Homo-oligomer: A and B are copies of this chain.
Amino acid sequence: MKAGAVELGHASKVTQRGVNRGMSILDLFLRIIAIIATLGSAIAMGTTNETLPFFTQFVRFRAKYSDLPTFTFFVVANAIVSAYLVLSLGMSIFHIMRSRAQARLLMYTIFWEVAMMALLTAGASASAAIVYLAHKGNTKTNWFPICQQYDSFCHRTSGSLVGSFIGIIFFILLVLLSALALSRR
C-alpha cells in the first residue's frame, strides 16, 4: 500500500515534470516566432525608401523611414526587443534542460518581458499614430496626408507595424507562461 502511494507520487512527479518541460518548449517556440515578427518589422521599416519618378531641377522627391523620427524609434525599439529575445533563447533552453524553473530567474524574466513589451508597444503605437496621420492627414492642424504622393512608402510602413503588434501579443503570452511556471513551482 505504501509502496503504491510512493509509486503514484513518483508518477505524478514525472507527469508534472513533463508538463513543465512542455511549457518550456512552448516558451521557446513563442520566443522564436516573436523574434521573426519583431526582426521582420525592424527590417521592413528600416529598408523603406521611395523615390518618386518625377523631380525638378533642384529637388528629388524621396521618402525614407528616417525622415520621421518616430519611425527611427520604431526600428530601434524592434531591434532592441529582438536582440533581447535572441539572448533570452539561452535561458529558455536552460529551462527545458532543467525541468524545475527557478523562482528568481522567473521573476527577472517577467520584469524584462514586461519592460520589453512596453518598449515594443510604445514604438508600434507611436508609429501607428504617424501612419494614421500620413494616411488621413488632419485638416485642423493643416497636416496633409502624404500617402497621396508616397503610396508605396505608406504601404510599406503600415505593413511593418503588423509584426510589432504580433510581437506584443506574444509578449503577453510569454508573461503569462512565466507566471504559470511560477505558480506551478
Interface size on A, residues (CB 8 A): 44
* CB-contact partner of A138 in B68, B117, B125, B182, under 8 A: B68
- Whether the pair B126, A129 counts as a contact (CB closer than 8 A) is yes
| CA of A180 to CA of B182, assembled, Å | 9
Contacts of A69 in B (CB 8 A): 132
The SS class assigned to the A binding surface is helix
Task: Indicate the member of A118, A142, A178 with the most B CB atoms within 10 Å.
Answer: A118
CB contacts under 8 Å to B, within A129-172, are: 129-130, 132-134, 138, 140-144, 146, 168, 172
**Which B residues are in CB contact (< 8 Å) with A63?**
140
Partner of A144, one of B111, B122, B142: B142
Given A126-B126, A185-B183, check contact A172 B118 (CB 8 Å). yes
